[in-house]
């Protein structure tokens, strides 16, 4: 049975009273783990469920490969662990693994129909996250699920009614049954094709839908999302190293941020119990920057695509005359929307700035109470533009050269566009015939969303490493952007540029060390292009 996508777009929440649960029967939320690969994601799911104050059991079905530390963390977060046997995969296992993590073992989730101690189950994949209470799902009939692309039902969230007879029939059927994707989703769509029911899309909001569905976006805007589902290969825990060609269709900084926020809070709870190493001061810094300093809806969109925001990082040697010249230069350009000044090493008098009567808004960003090299890439509340220029007090030869650089970036939005290239493979000057794979943050153009991705989405171990090795800051931001987009940085020629490479960067172990936080990959991408205005 195929389901019309209009059902997804128009179906409203409906409570089916004739199927309401009996008060003396237990129900449970259930997820499944093959091994430790998705253990952290499952912990976030369990944590998010507990935040809804549900009184129903939270069960994690596990295979033997799930380690004891992972089990202990899940139990502490409020889950019950039930061991199940692996159900034989009916297709070629190697081919299945190419399609996604642990596809072969996922048929083992069919064991949930053997949990006859529960009247009803709401199954949630480990790559989902609960945003709002959803106990009303227990009022829906068996195999209620949301519509996916292609009209099939997505089995990341569905209602099941455990039954020994149903379980035996599933076990007798699945080995020889068709499956359009050679996975459990294809089989379940086949098995329940005559008795399936549809759920409203907000009970399984697949991130990919938010890029083309007006209703999916409205669920977010109107705060109606019940469950987020990170269905694609690009997920909040791997986006920074995946190099996925369809990352734009599957990445959403705001939605990924909801997951990483839950991750931070979950980790803090585990750390207090001695089940995880504490995040320390960097954890406090990220909470301050990403939660206290930003509005809850930060990152949903950057509506201004015609201009950029200038972020000045001034040194203690910058005098007032130099500052005035810098401000007047950037304010004179039509592509500048506003200017922010990070007050890190220089204290500014707001009265002095007002007297300058700069033609564009100039905002001072006070230092955070958590000193860190990472603060250079902190997101800023109030940025409306899709692009930012990070600059350490430098100016272009002319406004025309500056606007040309912005035009170059507009044609290469996945890249960092810069003026001082680095390469970890050589300590020689980077000239026209040399390759480079990084740009200096002394002056770089990039997507505004990369600031949020760096500060609020990256694993905290990266920030901690950079705090211990400040020279590695530029390496980290370049590894993030190339790892995320698969795009190389792009050099724009300019007369003020010093093309020499600092020995501290090229001689360091930054890349070697940071790869351990990027799935043991060097995500940097080489380039040898130089764009020059004529």
In this chain, the answer to whether the domains covering 26-205 and 290-531 adopt an identical fold is yes
- Quick check: 222 and 201 in contact, CB under 8 A? no
Give me the CATH topology for the region 290-531: Spore Coat Polysaccharide Biosynthesis Protein SpsA; Chain A (3.90.550)
Which comes out higher in pLDDT, residue 8 or 437? 437
Q: Could you tell me which residue, 9 or 457, shows the higher pLDDT?
A: 457
Region 29-42 average pLDDT: 97
26-205 sits in which CATH class?
Answer: alpha beta
* Mean pLDDT computed over 208-218: 91
Q: Which residues contact 436 (CB under 8 A, 6 or more apart)?
A: 421, 422, 423, 430, 489, 491, 526, 527, 528
Gyration radius (Cα) of the chain, Å: 26
Work out the percent of the chain whose per-residue pLDDT is above 90: 73
Q: What is the pLDDT of residue 481?
A: 98
- pLDDT tens for residues 61-103? 999 999 999 999 999 999 999 999 999 999 876 655 554 555 6
Q: Residue 87 has what DSSP assignment? A: P
What's the pLDDT score for residue 395? 77
In DSSP notation, 159-226 reads EE---HHHHHHHHHHGGGS--TTSSHHHHHHHHTTTT-EEPPGGGSEEGGGGGT-HHHHHHHHTT---
Summarize pLDDT for 410-430 with one digit per residue, the tens: 999 999 999 999 886 543 444
DSSP 8-state code for residue 114: G
**Average confidence score pLDDT of the chain:** 88
| Model-wide pTM > 0.85 | yes
pLDDT band of residue 345 (cuts 50, 70, 90) is low
pLDDT at 438: 95
pLDDT range class, residue 300, cuts 50, 70, 90: confident
Answer yes or no: is pLDDT of 174 > 80: yes
Q: Is the pLDDT of residue 122 over 90?
A: yes
pLDDT one-digit tens code per residue, 353-411:
888 899 999 999 988 999 999 999 999 999 999 999 999 877 788 999 999 999 999 99
> What mean pLDDT do residues 278-284 have?
79
Q: Give the model confidence (pLDDT) of 448-499 as tens digits.
A: 999 999 999 999 999 999 999 999 999 999 999 999 999 999 999 865 444 3
CA–CA gap between residue 12 and residue 215 (Å, rounded)? 11
**What is the predicted pLDDT for the residue at 494?**
65
HSE-up (13 A, CA, CB side) for residue 459: 17
Domain ranges of the chain: 26-205, 290-531
pLDDT score of 271:
95
């Amino acid at each position: 049975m195929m389901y019309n996508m209009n059902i997804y777009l128009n179906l409203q929440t409906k409570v089916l009273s004739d199927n309401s649960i009996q008060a003396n029967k237990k129900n449970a939320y259930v997820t499944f783990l093959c091994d430790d690969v998705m253990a952290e994601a499952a912990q976030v799911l369990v944590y998010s469920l507990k935040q809804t104050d549900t009184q129903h059991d939270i069960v994690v079905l596990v295979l033997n490969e799930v380690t004891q530390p992972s089990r202990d963390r899940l139990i502490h977060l409020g889950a019950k662990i039930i061991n199940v046997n692996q159900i034989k995969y009916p297709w070629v296992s190697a081919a299945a693994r190419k399609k996604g993590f642990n596809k072969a073992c996922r048929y083992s989730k069919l064991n949930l129909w053997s949990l006859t101690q529960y009247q009803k189950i709401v199954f949630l994949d480990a790559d989902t996250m609960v945003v709002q209470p959803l106990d009303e799902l227990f009022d829906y009939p068996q195999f209620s699920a949301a519509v996916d692309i292609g009209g099939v039902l997505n089995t990341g969230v569905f209602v099941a009614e455990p039954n020994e007879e149903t379980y035996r029939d599933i076990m007798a059927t699945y080995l020889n049954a068709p499956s359009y994707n050679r996975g459990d989703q294809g089989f379940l769509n086949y098995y329940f094709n005559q008795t399936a029911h549809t759920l409203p899309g907000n009970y399984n909001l697949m991130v990919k839908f938010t890029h083309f569905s007006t209703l999916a976006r409205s669920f977010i805007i109107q705060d109606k999302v019940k469950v987020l589902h990170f269905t694609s290969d690009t997920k909040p825990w791997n986006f920074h190293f995946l190099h996925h060609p369809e990352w734009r269709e599957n990445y959403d900084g705001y939605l990924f941020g909801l997951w990483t926020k839950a991750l931070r809070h979950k980790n803090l709870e585990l750390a207090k119990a001695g089940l995880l190493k504490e995040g320390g001061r960097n954890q406090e810094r990220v909470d301050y920057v990403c939660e206290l300093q930003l509005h809850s809806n930060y990152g949903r969109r950057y509506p201004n695509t015609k201009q950029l925001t200038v972020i000045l990082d001034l040194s203690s040697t910058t005098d007032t005359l130099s500052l005035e010249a810098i401000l007047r230069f950037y304010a004179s350009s039509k592509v500048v929307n506003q200017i922010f000044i990070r007050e890190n090493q220089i204290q500014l008098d707001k009265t002095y700035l007002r007297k300058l009567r700069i033609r564009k808004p100039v905002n001072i960003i006070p230092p955070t109470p958590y000193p860190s090299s990472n603060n250079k890439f902190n997101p800023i509340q109030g940025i409306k533009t899709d692009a930012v220029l990070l600059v350490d007090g430098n100016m272009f030869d002319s406004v025309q050269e500056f606007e040309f650089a912005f035009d170059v970036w507009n044609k290469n939005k996945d890249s960092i566009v810069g003026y001082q290239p680095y390469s970890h493979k050589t300590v020689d000057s980077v000239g026209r015939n040399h390759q480079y794979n990084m740009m200096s943050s002394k002056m770089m153009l990039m997507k505004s969303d990369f600031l949020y991705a760096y500060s609020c989405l990256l694993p905290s171990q990266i920030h901690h490493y950079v705090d211990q090795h400040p020279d590695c800051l530029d390496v980290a931001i370049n590894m993030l952007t190339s790892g995320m987009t698969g795009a190389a940085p792009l050099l724009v020629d300019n007369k003020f540029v010093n093309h020499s490479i600092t020995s501290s960067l090229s001689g360091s172990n930054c890349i070697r060390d940071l790869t351990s936080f990027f799935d043991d990959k060097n995500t940097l991408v080489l380039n040898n292009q130089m764009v020059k205005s004529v």
